[in-house]
A and B are shown apart, each in its own frame.
Chain A
């Protein structure tokens, strides 16, 4: 499917999402509560069969925190981007997709480590690189008086 067809098809799977046809990928913003169901659908549906989660990144958008999922289908060759956001900075959490794509295990632990986003349903959510005493360095409001020189 090309980018427009993909967008239309996903709209028919899940009405409650916003489709944005980007330059490179079709981008889909989905409410946090519907993420897991949509992901499961995209994985199992024959028309989409997105079986390869090739990138999972956490992003601090300033006010919101979000996670970006890059998906590709190895059978059909098309790619897509799914985005979720939350404005809760104290206890941000999304559903884990570890049960759908196993590669999400390490990726989600990394996002939790560096941005403090929790994933409900993750089998073993611990910090990956840093000590428990650290803050969440990839957040934009993170400060470190010793190692970060601010002009």
Chain B
């Protein structure tokens, strides 16, 4: 008995290994982390991936460009619109098609609504991870309103497949503008509730401020983009640096902090929801008249060459790299997914913090696992 006590894994000098996931509630999917601990302190985090690897890049090589759109929904399912847009823009860029203003504006509106609903879900689940279950109900209540708008126009709620090469699948629903305006009016009133409930909460602040710091240099070296990168001061907003669709003509701020801790990664997302609402305000009354899609050839073939398109999803920079050999199928497609790259910094961020902080740090990266595995 005495000997057992001596060899107890809680001995400060001994390192022991626990398995977090693939079915852990705080990983929001099938992410498996093998965590080495010394006492309560994290020494090493090693992600084991592949539980939802579907080989999307391989599948893309045998299907046509309009078909790829439907696979991109299933990568980062919370940024489905923006993923669709990335492939559509890449194809349009390759074919040098001019897209009418109406399509650009609707795409931008849809992307910003997507960003809002994604950050709402982030807020909901992040609060839940840290023990505030009320957040989950508030967040999902509000997110439902955005999904209803999607459902009316796109037919789908999450897997929307609304953008396609050459424009949109269908025109917006006659109620679209009215409902978006109603939602913005409602959400401007509700967003301060989010701050009251979580941002100012003492327990929440204790658990996030100064936890999981990521310096600017490391953020760039690890390639951490999106709100997580901007919380470290990495100016990486593709909407600002390389404006696509209608982002060139709207006014908005790039949310930047310099602290780079869990709290500021959270705060960046809350502020981004405000910026997204500002963008929507500027565009919703100014949707130009015109067609909702450009007439495309029934079989789309890209000219031989290489095309790269970047967009800003709710989690960071998504890159679509297409190599075409002139056929109707791409020769090679590579998705530079933001979650995959952000995850690679998790080990660096969680080191020397407690195991309970790992949940907070992982939650603040807002990982979507199917986007990591692809």
Contacts and interface: CB of A to CB of B under 8 A. Distances in A.
A129 B373 contact: yes
Nearest to A77: B241
B49 to A, nearest CB: 6
A102 B348 CA distance: 10
Interface residues of A, number: 30
Contacts of B235: 74
Interface string B226-261: 000000001110000100000000000000000000
B55 A102 contact: no
Interface in B293-351: 305-308, 310, 317, 319, 321, 323, 332, 334, 336, 340-341, 343-345, 348
Contact of B332 (A59, A128, A130): A59
A106 B340 contact: yes
Contacts of A129: 49-50, 53, 373
Interface stretch (A9-17, A31-39, A48-56): A48-56
A57 interface: yes
A55 B334 contact: yes
Contact of A55 (B58, B222, B321, B345): B321
Nearest to A142: B58
Contacts, number: 75
A106 B53 contact: no
A24 B321 CA distance: 12
A68 interface: yes
Contact of B319 (A22, A54, A59, A103): A54
A144 to B, nearest CB: 10
A103 B223 contact: yes
Contacts of A24: 306-308
Contacts of B49: 128-129
The listed residue with most B CB atoms (<10 A of its CB), out of A24, A52, A101, is A52
B321 A70 contact: yes
B148 interface: no
A138 B343 contact: no
A53 B223 contact: yes
Interface in A115-151: 128-130, 137-138, 148
A102 B222 contact: yes
A51 B307 contact: no
B348 to A, nearest CB: 8
A109 B249 CA distance: 40
Interface string A56-86: 0101100000001010001001000000000
Contact of B336 (A22, A55, A77): A55
A102 B57 contact: no
Given A51-B221, A138-B332, 6 more contacts: A22-B305, A53-B223, A102-B221, A103-B344, A110-B340, A129-B373
Interface of B: 49-50, 53, 55, 57-58, 62, 218, 220-223, 234-236, 241, 305-308, 310, 317, 319, 321, 323, 332, 334, 336, 340-341, 343-345, 348, 373
- In the A-B complex, list the 3 residue pairs whose CB atoms are closest, starting with the nearest: A103-B223, A129-B50, A57-B334
